[in-house]
Amino acid sequence: MTCEVCGSRLIPEPGFYDGAMYISYAFSVALVITSLVAINLLVKKPELWMYLSSVAVLNMVLLPAMLRYSKTLYQYAAGKLKYRGD
């Protein structure tokens, strides 16, 4: 199966989801660091529950987008997907 527009294969190769998992992990680490810095800047004396709840809520909200973009970025990095600026 190939895409009619870009010609890329739609069947993932072995190890595709493993590679995308590493990118998704990097997104999660960036989300945790960003939320921790934001809480420290916004709240004078933050407590542990603020950190945990904000990271949990943000991760649940952004997880579908992070998974989708991690797969797309991995395809670009592996050279299986080409950007067409048409």
Quote the percentage of the chain above a pLDDT of 70: 90
pTM over 0.75: no
| Distance from chain centroid for Cα 46 | 27
Query: Do residues 55 and 35 touch, judged by C-beta distance below 8 A?
Result: yes
Nearest by Cα to 32 from 9, 13, 4, 55: 55
pLDDT band at residue 18 under the 50/70/90 scheme: confident
pLDDT band at residue 19 under the 50/70/90 scheme: confident
pLDDT band at residue 81 under the 50/70/90 scheme: low
Domain residue extents for the chain: 16-78
Give 81's contacts (C-beta < 8 A, 6+ positions apart). Answer: 6, 8, 72, 75
